[in-house]
Amino acid sequence: DIRGAEQDYKKLEKELDKKIKRTPTDHPGYNEYQYHLDPIEHDPWQLTSFLTTLYDDYTRSEVQSKLKETLKKQYKLTTWVEVQ
C-alpha cells in the first residue's frame, strides 16, 4: 500500500517534530534552548522507489519496521547541555 506507507512515514516525521517542540517541557530548567535543524521532510517518490526496490510488492504493515529504521537513519536528534 504505497499511499499508506507514505502516510505512515509522514506521521513518524510529525512525531519527531513534536518531540523537538517538547524539548523545553521534557528538559526544563534551562535559560535558553538552541536548535540547529534541517527540514523534516522527504521525497515521497524516493520513499516509494526505496520500498519497492526492497519489497517489490508490499503491504503497509509489512514495511512498518523499515520505515522506523529509515527515519532513524535519515534524522539524528542530539541534545546536550552547555554551561557558560
**Stretch 23-34: mean pLDDT:** 94
**Stretch 29-55: mean pLDDT:** 95
> In this predicted structure, what is the pLDDT of residue 1?
86
Mean pLDDT, the chain, as a whole number? 95
pTM: 0.90
Phi, psi of 62 (to 5 degrees): -65, -30
Q: How far is residue 69 from each of residues 33, 35, 49, 66, 73, measured CA to CA in Å?
A: 28, 24, 16, 5, 6
Reported as a pLDDT band with limits 50, 70 and 90, residue 17 is very high
**Stretch 41-59: mean pLDDT:** 96
Decide if pLDDT at 12 tops 90. Answer: yes
